[in-house]
Chain A
Amino acid sequence: MIEGARWRRWVFFYVPVTAFVVALLFPFYWMVITTLRPDRELYRPWSAANYAPFWTANPTLEHIRALLTETLFSTWMLNTMLISLAATAISLFCGLLAGYALSRLKFPYAGLLGTAIFITYLVPQTLLFIPLADIIRNFKLGDSPWALILTYPTFLIPFCTWLLMGYFKSIPKELEECARIDGAPRWKAMVYIIFPVAIPGILSAGIFAFTLSWNEFIYALVFLSSPEQKTVPVGVTSELVRGDVFYWGELMAGALLGSIPVAFVYSFFVEYYVSGITGSVKG
């Protein structure tokens, strides 16, 4: 704790921290409140006298109900879940193998390939989305989840590889050597000894990948067109707005429910997520 007078603690610590927390979490509070607020309360101008922003006297589940029954929201949730899980699985698979090769095997051009993978991580999606749209169409993958399942790994694999390389480097090489002397061929030593020991790293990478997939927007926006194929971010953006009218209640409900799976996964694995960030920054 901060030494010194009580007032110092308040001014230099409690007040700023509280301010940060409030500022960072307020929009979520607003999301929740709006979701539960009936329409008549919702569309009250702020200059009106009876504007009561911070609570509602008549909470309702109407927006949530409308969202789930009158829109394709549940389909979007399913799509997003499927795509995220599949993309994460592919990226973990590739990242595990590549990370192992780059950190524990000696082969020509290893350095070059490692750098190449790092560079692709720096290439933002907004640079590639136009030509990729063309390619997706040519491969006849347009408007299907495969368009995303195959393209998401392009930004997930480099990160997973990098993170897992860091984990692998911390595993002593004697473990593998012992396994090989025990009678295991190289690949079995990798699968039965090294991978199990790297499970914390695998979890970190997986959660990060899942979160990043869920968050992706531009590829989903460009490659998918029919409403049934859309993911949550795209669906909420395009289908919950009719003309110029924003259905804020449903929109916030969609935003809230759409965030829950990610927040849920995150809450169980916070430590792994944080170590994922810090590992990638230090590594």
Chain B
Amino acid sequence: MARVAMRDLNKMYDEVHAVIDVNLEIRDQEFVVLVGPSGCGKTTTLRMVAGLESITGGQISIDEKVVNALPPMDRDIAMVFQNYALYPHMTVYDNMAFGLKMRKFDKAEIGRRVKEAADILGIQELLKRKPRQLSGGQRQRVALGRAIVRHPQVFLFDEPLSNLDAKLRVQMRVELKKLHERLGTTAIYVTHDQVEAMTLGDRVVVMRDGRVQQVGDPMELYNEPANRFVAGFIGSPAMNFASVRVAAENGTLWAESEDMRIKVPPRVAQRLARYTGKETTLGVRPEDLRIARDGDDRDLGFDVAIEVVERLGSEILLDVAAGATTMVASVEPTVTAKVHETTRLVINPERMHFFDNETEAAI
């Protein structure tokens, strides 16, 4: 049973408050991803769990045991680094055996475990080679193998796929997911790539400037972002934002700006009511915008001029402008839109998001 708990975790570097009041309970066998832009504190948090950084405030416990004062060698964890950190002067076998040797396993047991891990990762033929003779993908597997042989309670991943080329990255992502399903060890994974976060995590923790912005499973974050930052960070292409004013008219609420006038659906109107007369931010994802058809509710659409047409094959991205507001819409590949044309877009009423302009929280 390997649960990891962070309570009121804080880290100060001289003047910089890098990690602020992080509270997180990670369940046994869970794959948790810490995601955010660089400098958000995700790597620092990971390193504190590893024991590579000292903890300024709060505590970290692994399986109910507070590990604040334990050096890395006494915490039963394994880590995979972005640069693999393979020991250049040792063979692959010795790289994988090193941790077991440090923990005084006997030779037979070491041999058994290394073989087992090599089998799982498909690197049996590489055991006698040195790291410099391996490709990037192979090195990554060896780094994984080194972590697996130890049978640790927790795996830590520090942006392990960032150094791989795009194609290899996608491949390894899938393999990592399969690996986790097979091994079932609790894992904490740090990345700046939200695609990795969404595809790999059982739960995703979005961080910014040292604080946790939201914790939840991927779909929760996607469909119900807690604030504007999470809404804009998760999902690609990013959510569109427009500054609008809430106006009341005949019992319905409207979101208005110079460039559009959208009717607020009743379910959202309840929450938006107290913002009447105020400026808020409307958020809508590109895939929730489509070209208007006959029969569409006129109150849910607005006219735009098409500026750029990006054909991706599976979809078309339209960069449009409604007056001063620019947006991106993702439409079916069969749409015949051309640059400089004007057209009308319609918003899916179920998928409108509003954010408070001051707190940036979702309304």
Binding site for B on A (CB under 8 A): 172, 174-175, 177-186, 188, 192-193, 196-197, 199
Contacts and interface: CB of A to CB of B under 8 A. Distances in A.
Interface stretch (B17-25, B79-87, B298-306): B79-87
B99 A175 contact: no
A174 B85 contact: yes
Nearest to A186: B71
Contacts of B78: 181-182
B72 interface: yes
Contact of A181 (B50, B83, B87): B50
A120 to B, nearest CB: 31
B72 A196 contact: no
Contact of B99 (A172, A177, A182, A197): A182
A197 B85 contact: no
A197 B103 CA distance: 22
B102 A178 contact: no
A181 B156 CA distance: 10
Contacts of A174: 81, 83, 85
Interface centre among B75, B89, B103 (most CB of A within 10 A): B89
A197 B85 CA distance: 12
A181 B98 contact: no
- The interface size bin for chain B is 20 to 34
B146 interface: yes
Interface in B68-100: 71-73, 75, 77-79, 81, 83, 85, 87-89, 98-99
A183 B79 contact: no
Nearest to A196: B89
Contacts of B141: none
A197 B88 contact: yes
19 contacts: A172-B83, A174-B83, A177-B50, A177-B52, A178-B81, A178-B87, A180-B73, A181-B50, A181-B73, A181-B79, A182-B73, A182-B78, A182-B102, A182-B146, A183-B73, A183-B99, A184-B73, A196-B89, A197-B88
Interface string B92-124: 000000110011000000000000000000000
Contacts of A180: 51-52, 71-73
B87 A175 contact: yes
B27 to A, nearest CB: 22
A69 B179 CA distance: 75
Given A178-B79, A179-B98, A180-B52, A185 B71 contact: yes
A181 B85 CA distance: 12
A251 B245 CA distance: 101
Contacts of B88: 197
B98 A182 contact: yes
Contacts of B73: 180-185
Given A180-B73, A183-B103, A175 B52 contact: no
A172 B73 CA distance: 19
B150 interface: yes
A87 to B, nearest CB: 28
